[in-house]
Structure 1
Amino acid sequence: MRLTSFTDYGLRMLMLLASQPGQALSTAEMAARLRLSRNHLTKILQRLARGGLVQTRRGGGGGAVLAKAPEEIRLGAVVRLLEGGPQLVECLRPGGGTCTFDGCCGLKVRLRLAEAAFLADLDRSTLADITHPTVAA
Structure 2
Amino acid sequence: MGALFFVKHKPTCREIDIVKLTIYTDYSLRVLLYLASKPDATATITEITEYYNISRNHLVKVVHNLGIHEFIITSRGKNGGIRLARPAEDILLSDVVRKTEPDMDLLECFNPKTDNCVISPTCRLKSMLYEGRSAFMAVLEKNTLADAAGPITQAKSGEAVYVNISRLKR
**TM-score, length of structure 2 as denominator length:** 0.74
- 2-structure distance, mates of 1:50, 1:112: 29
* Unpaired segments ≥5 residues, structure 1: none
- 2-structure distance, mates of 1:135, 1:27: 20
- 2-structure distance, mates of 1:40, 1:93: 28
Match of 1:79 among 85, 88, 97: 97
Matched, 1:36 2:66: no
Larger relative CO (CA 8 A, sep 6+): 1 or 2?
Answer: 1
- 2-structure distance, mates of 1:87, 1:3: 12
- 2-structure distance, mates of 1:94, 1:50: 29
Partner of 2:120: 102
Please provide the CA RMSD for this pair.
1.8
Match of 1:119 among 125, 137, 142: 137
Partner of 1:65: 83
Paired letter, 1:61: N
* Unpaired segments ≥5 residues, structure 2: 1-18, 151-162
- 1-structure distance, mates of 2:166, 2:142: 24
- 2-structure distance, mates of 1:70, 1:57: 19
Instruction: Identify which range, 12-21 or 76-85, moves more after superposition.
Output: 76-85
**TM-score, length of structure 1 as denominator length:** 0.90
Tell me how many residue pairs correspond in the alignment: 137
Higher helix share: 1
User: Percent identity, aligned pairs only?
Assistant: 37
Matched, 1:134 2:164: yes
Alignment of 1:3-42 (within 5 A): 3-42=21-60
